[in-house]
Amino acid sequence: MTDGNFILRGGYGIDKVSDASLTLTTAVFGYHTPLMDKTDLILGIGYTDSCLSKGGASGGKSNTHVDLELARILTSKTSVSARLVMEFLDASYGLVLGTVH
């Protein structure tokens, strides 16, 4: 969902394999600005909550993060992006490379 340059995105997913299940919830509020034709910069702050359950035992993790994403539209149906995610509670970071078709 977007409003001008502001973005609100999120997701909820459940993955079940045999007697285990993984639940992931995420919400991000961000700001989108074009850098040049077909290339955008997206800054965001978000929250992620995950829970893994297996055979009656369960555990989870929650974290707040900031991210910086550079996205490029290649064709009308394909885009690529590189996203740097920095988590506050774990003091960790990661690089996510992706493509959308």
Q: What is the structure's pLDDT at 25?
A: 92
Using 50, 70 and 90 to split pLDDT, how confident is the model at 94? confident
Please give the C-alpha separations between residue 48 and each of 6, 60, 69, 80, 100, in angstroms, as whole numbers.
19, 11, 17, 23, 21
Output the pLDDT for position 92: 81
pLDDT tens digit string along 8-48? 888 888 888 777 888 889 999 999 999 899 999 999 999 99
The upper half-sphere exposure of residue 78, i.e. CA atoms within 13 Å in the direction of its Cβ, equals 3
Q: Name the residue ranges covered by the structural domains of the chain.
A: 2-100
Q: State if pTM tops 0.75.
A: no
Specify the pLDDT at position 101: 65
